[in-house]
Amino acid sequence: MTSMAHTDSEHVQVNSQTRLARAYRVLVLGGLFLSAAFLGGFAVFAAHIASLETPAEFDSADGIVVLTGGQSRLDTGVDLLKAGKGKRLLISGVNPKARVEDLRVATGGEEQLFNCCVDIDRAALNTIGNAEESAKWAAANTYGSIIVVTNNYHMPRSLLEMRRILPKADLQPYPVVNTPLRSSVWLSKPDALRVLATEYSKYVAALARGMFPAPNAVEPYEMVRVNTPAQ
């Protein structure tokens, strides 16, 4: 009787060890698969970023939105407005302490142009906020088409967030390329690699968020005008 009980105990122990080993293999294989998928996705993402170029020719739009983060973005947005590529310009995510006059001087914009056709958003703190404030601005102005100005590496996530909230708007990307990435030289530059890896991680998170419907989706013509020109 004791021998049979001992045998049963060994059998249970072996089965338990087998299940643990199987679960461990599943976890390892799952981890390897996720790592490979993440790295493969990063390679595709980096290649896409490298292919983005500032368009030489493009259609005009109702409005222009610049997502702040660099002087070149602001300069580009103001230049597009001067060229008549949009009726108004929204500079989204401006530091609350920054004065409109400082922005105007920094970009070389005329005072009349800024008073007439430039709106400043100081509420947005991140890309999601940029998208939300841009959607409000587009709806307030009854704009159905928008030129989106931001850096090339930031463009995919910016469009993803904006399309969630403005699903029917015509968004035209206008990437600003400060560092060409067409060659593989950037792989040897830690700063460039870090920026791309960080942006890719944020993009994946934005994709995950996109699995759920945006709670505040806005129709382009849904609202009345609430913004006023920057003074």
Q: Rounded to whole angstroms, what are the CA distances from 217 to 35, 62, 84, 134?
A: 33, 19, 28, 12
Helix crossing, 2-51 with 155-165: angle to 10°? 100
pLDDT band at 208 (very low <50, low <70, confident <90, very high): confident
The predicted pLDDT at position 124 comes to 93
CA distance 92 to 89: 9
Spell out the residues 6+ positions from residue 22 whose beta carbon is closer than 8 angstroms to its own: none
> Span 68-87, mean pLDDT?
92
Q: What is the pLDDT of residue 6?
A: 52
Chain center to CA of 113: 28
Most distant CA pair in the chain, distance = 100
Q: Is the pLDDT of residue 26 over 90?
A: no
Contact 155, 52 (CB under 8 A): yes
pLDDT band at 126 (very low <50, low <70, confident <90, very high): very high
Q: Which single residue is written with the structure tokens 């996109």?
A: 210
Per-residue pLDDT at 193: 82
Listed by start position, the domains of the chain span 63-209
Lookup: tokens for 72:
């070149």
pLDDT at 20: 75
How far is residue 17's CA from residue 4's CA, in Å, rounded to a whole number? 20
Is the pLDDT at 22 greater than 60? The verdict is: yes
The highest-level CATH class for domain 63-209 is alpha beta
- Which residue has 């108004």 as its token pair? 88
Mean per-residue pLDDT over the chain, rounded: 82
**Residues composing the chain:** 231
**Tokens 């967030």 — which residue?**
161
**Cα gap 203→42, rounded to integer Å:** 10
